[in-house]
């Protein structure tokens, strides 16, 4: 007599044997690497342009040029968001993410050589890195549209996205330590090499869909397929997508607005916090990098909690999907508005650090709102919706470092006050817009019509979503 399979009462294998959790874990590590490949320049550029003791700086770059270098990545990044969304819908996100990160990692390793040759070559490299990395975020929604049961979307998606912030937590102090111990070139070599190793693991272990995974149990496969329902991924061409409905949908624009506003504050601090610590608080690169990571540590912890809490509220029907997205998103934005404003008026070191930590950290609740929202309103087009929203949300990455470079000419606290105040106002606008126009319901143009032979009808499928 065969031994019955080890599983839970709902027919599922144990948590640690579920392949969708492996996808989430490796996606977490992927985003970890993506962000260490971003923050390395924010830390490295301080070491490259600052004098220490008797040692002169290697590069004499003006604040405007530094701002241009830090923002150059986003010129490439913005160009492939929608392309990534379209490709993710058509071919899946696994290869898209893997090869996108792989190319970015190779170019990162080449950066020190480029810097010693020409500053303009560094800018060109960063633009190309942005092109390859631009497909990563839309690609992950293509992965989740095939792997994440609706009842677990926020948990799986939030956990994967939290890798970005954990990567920032480790990236800042790690790159600061590398710069002090082994010189600034190591801040590019080490993250690049680690990311290449991750790409090999991701591309060999993860398949585009559960049906292609040879190690998935029959119980988990059936659960995922039955929960997600029809996806209609490859049945229509790009030209036949409901573009008019997508581009005139206010819930889509609510996601886009929220993504833009969250990224404004996030990218402002991601690229400028080490400089602020150095300019105003007079911290050296080691201490400044460590404290710059603190906000993202808080964000990483909160994101784990918020993802489970959102799914619990929805599963137990305490709040509707629309209500939970709005409460978490708008509550975060209002809190960020308040603390970013306090940071702009703070006159003490500890006060500035606490306010900036909370201003960034509380954004985790917003990520449990807008970032998962595309899977609520149109799961089969989720990668396209994220491609659209992240196209606009990349603009802050271009504009905010350059604006900070223009405002902060004398490295004074008064100049940094305006940088933080602008972010505060943008958060407030995002809260109002999302509260009015967001939705957690599947949109009419995204409902897939099925017949009874397939075992689904519209009502049953919509209720699951």
What is the pLDDT tens value at each position of the chain, 465 positions in all? Answer: 444 444 444 566 776 778 999 999 999 999 999 989 988 888 888 888 876 655 666 777 887 788 788 878 888 998 999 888 888 888 888 999 999 999 999 999 999 999 889 989 999 999 999 999 999 988 998 899 889 888 888 888 888 988 988 888 888 788 888 988 888 899 999 999 999 999 999 999 999 888 888 888 888 888 888 887 655 554 556 677 889 999 999 999 999 999 999 999 887 876 677 677 676 666 665 666 667 777 878 888 888 888 888 888 888 889 999 999 999 999 999 999 998 888 777 777 778 788 888 888 888 899 889 988 998 999 888 889 998 998 999 888 788 877 887 887 777 777 778 888 898 999 999 999 999 999 999 999 988 765 444 444 444 344 343
Structure tokens at 56: 């002169």
> How far does the chain reach from its first CA to its final CA, in angstroms?
39
Cα 164 from Cα 71, distance rounded (Å): 18
- For 151, 329, 402, the CA distances from 311, given in Å and listed in that order, are 6, 15, 39
β-strand partners of 71: none
> What distance in Å separates the CA atoms of residue 259 and residue 251, rounded to the nearest whole number?
12
Q: How far apart are CA 295 and CA 412, in angstroms?
A: 22
DSSP secondary structure string for all residues of 414-453: HHHHHHHHHHHHHHHHHHHHHHHH---SPPGGGPPP--GG
| Crossing angle of helices 63-79 and 250-279, rounded to 10° | 150
Contact by Cβ (8 Å): 36, 170? yes
> Cβ of 340: how many Cβ atoms within 10 Å?
27
Model confidence over 161-196: pLDDT tens digits? 889 888 888 887 888 889 888 888 999 999 999 999
Structure confidence by residue, pLDDT tens digits, 399-420? 887 788 788 777 777 777 888 8
Q: How many Å apart are CA 389 and CA 391, to the nearest integer? A: 5
Q: What gap in Å lies between CA 112 and CA 91, rounded to an integer?
A: 35
Q: Residue 66, by phi and psi: left (phi above 0), alpha (psi -120 to 50) or beta?
A: alpha
Alpha-carbon distance of 290 to 274, in angstroms, equals 9
Question: What is the spatial distance between Cα 336 and Cα 316, in angstroms, rounded to a whole number?
Answer: 29
Contact indicator for 34, 101 with CB cutoff of 8 Å: yes
Map residue 335 onto helix, strand or coil.
Answer: helix
Q: What share of the chain is helix, strand, coil (3-state, %, to 5)?
A: 80, 0, 20
Provide CB contacts within 8 A for 395, sequence distance 6+.
74, 78, 260
Using the structure block, give the residue that is written with the tokens 């606009």: 392
Strands, E assignment, 350-389: none
**Domains of the chain, start order:** 15-220 (1.20.1250.20), 241-446 (1.20.1250.20)
Q: What token pair was written down for 416?
A: 């940094």
């Amino acid at each position: 007599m065969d031994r019955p399979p080890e599983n839970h009462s709902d027919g599922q294998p144990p948590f640690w044997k579920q392949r969708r959790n492996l996808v989430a874990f490796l996606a977490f590590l992927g985003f970890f690497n993506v962000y260490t490949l971003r923050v390395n320049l924010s830390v490295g550029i301080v070491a490259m342009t600052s004098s220490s003791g008797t040692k002169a700086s290697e590069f004499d770059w003006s604040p405007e040029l530094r701002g241009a270098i830090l923002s150059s990545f986003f010129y490439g990044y913005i160009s492939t968001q929608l392309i990534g969304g379209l490709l993710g819908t058509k071919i899946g996100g696994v290869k898209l993410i893997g090869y996108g990160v792989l190319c970015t990692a190779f170019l990162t390793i080449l950066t020190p050589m480029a810097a010693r040759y020409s500053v303009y070559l560094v800018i060109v490299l960063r633009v190309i890195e942005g092109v390859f990395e631009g497909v990563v975020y839309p690609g992950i929604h293509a992965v989740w549209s095939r792997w994440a049961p609706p009842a677990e979307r926020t948990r799986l998606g939030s956990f994967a996205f939290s890798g970005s912030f954990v990567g920032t937590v480790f990236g800042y102090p790690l790159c600061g330590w590398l710069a002090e111990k082994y010189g600034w070139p190591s801040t590019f070599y080490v993250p690049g090499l680690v990311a290449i190793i991750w790409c090999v693991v991701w591309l060999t272990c993860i398949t585009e869909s559960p049906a292609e995974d040879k190690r998935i149990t029959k119980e988990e496969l059936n659960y995922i397929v039955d929960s997600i329902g029809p996806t209609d991924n490859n049945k229509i061409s790009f030209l036949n997508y409901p573009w008019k409905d997508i581009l005139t949908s206010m819930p889509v624009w609510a996601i886009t607005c929220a993504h833009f506003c969250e990224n404004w504050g996030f990218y402002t601090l991601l690229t400028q916090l080490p400089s602020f610590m150095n300019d105003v608080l007079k911290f050296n690169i080691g201490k400044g990098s460590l404290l710059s990571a603190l906000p993202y540590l808080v964000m990483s912890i909160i994101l784990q909690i918020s993802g489970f809490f959102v799914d619990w509220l929805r599963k137990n029907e305490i709040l509707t999907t629309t209500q939970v997205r709005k409460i978490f998103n708008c509550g975060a934005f209002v809190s960020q508005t308040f603390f970013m404003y306090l940071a702009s008026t703070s006159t003490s070191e500890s006060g500035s650090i606490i306010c900036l930590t909370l201003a960034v950290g509380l954004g985790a609740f917003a990520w449990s709102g807008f970032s998962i929202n595309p899977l609520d309103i149109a799961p089969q087009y989720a990668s396209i919706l994220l491609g659209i929203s992240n196209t606009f949300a990349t603009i802050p990455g271009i504009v905010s470092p350059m604006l900070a470079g223009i405002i902060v000419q004398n490295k004074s606290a008064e100049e940094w006050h305006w940088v933080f105040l602008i972010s505060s106002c943008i958060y407030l606008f995002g809260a109002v817009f999302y509260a009015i126009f967001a939705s957690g319901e599947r949109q009419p143009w995204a409902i897939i019509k099925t017949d009874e032979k397939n075992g689904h009808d519209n009502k049953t499928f919509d209720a699951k979503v």
